[in-house]
Amino acid sequence: MKIFKETPAPNVWARPEMPITFRAEIMPGKSREERTFRINEVLRNGRVTLYGFAGEHRESEFEAVNFKRQNP
């Protein structure tokens, strides 16, 4: 009988297709809508790539995710 060791789930802060908003300090003078992008891919290192915005980005660049916020 094989016994499988459970590994803890990684701390997932983002998922593909999820909208995410850059912190205002990173994009001063831009509205929330102009700072919001959709996640294209979550990389193994925890960074994300975005649709329409080049490069890899880390969690600290974005506002905290608020799952209770209602989208208009």
Which sequence spans correspond to the domains of the chain?
19-61
What pTM did the predictor assign?
Answer: 0.75
Residue 70 has pLDDT above 60, yes or no: no
Per-residue pLDDT tens for 4-59? 554 444 567 899 999 999 999 999 999 999 999 999 999 999 999 999 999 999 99
Provide the pLDDT for residue 13: 86
Give yes or no for a contact between 46 and 9, defined as CB atoms under 8 angstroms apart.
no
What single-letter DSSP state applies at residue 21? E
Two structure tokens written together for 31:
């509205």
Closest CA to 66 of 34, 21, 25: 21
pLDDT of res. 9: 47
